[in-house]
Amino acid sequence: MTAQISEKLLFEGEKHAMCTNPLGDYCALGGELPNFASNRTALWRGYVGTWEIINDRLYLVELHGELESGEDANLETVFPGYGDRVFAHWYSGTIRLPQGKILEYVHMGYGSTYERDLLLEFKKGVLTSRLVKVNGISKDENASEGYGIGAMTVFPREKGDQP
């Protein structure tokens, strides 16, 4: 499995790479998602969501993806009537925001390790605590800063193609 493109999180005025997929939990709890097209190895889930924490609450504020039907998907597609923002009340658990220089690149999922992880703990979509976990200090001056993926393969497909 290739390293995956992260979700995005707007938090305290900064944009972070977010290595957690709260929409996966929505699906696991019985929520219905449309069939997203998985046409690149670095994005098996088929979409990228932008999240925002406002007054300690987690919201999904943007979503970009492509459906298997070939149509573009956005927030309105997934949550009709809630095209501006969706309160992620279903999410309980930890959200991981990797920070600093890369320590070890792992070409799988969100497996790479960075100097620090900002861990945000949520209960039913509400931020309850935060913790910075220090994983080490990079000795490589040229090490890349911030989350990134090394490579991916894109599978070209015609609009309307069925898998």
- Rounded CA gap, 118 and 16, in Å? 10
79 binds another protein per the rule CB under 8 A: yes
Q: Going by C-beta distance under 8 Å and a sequence separation of 6 or more, which residues neighbour residue 13?
A: none
Which is closer to another protein, CB of 67 or CB of 152? 152
- Rounded CA gap, 62 and 52, in Å? 9
- CB of residue 86 to another protein, shortest distance in Å: 5
Which is closer to another protein, CB of 55 or CB of 142? 55
CA dihedral 70, 15, 112, 122 (to 10 degrees): -90
- Rounded CA gap, 21 and 29, in Å? 13
Which is closer to another protein, CB of 131 or CB of 145? 131
30 binds another protein per the rule CB under 8 A: yes
Question: What is the DSSP pairing of strand 86-87 with strand 126-134?
Answer: unpaired
156 binds another protein per the rule CB under 8 A: no
Binding interface with another protein (CB under 8 A): 1-2, 25-26, 28-32, 41, 54-55, 57, 59, 79, 82, 84-87, 89-90, 92-94, 124, 133, 153, 155, 163
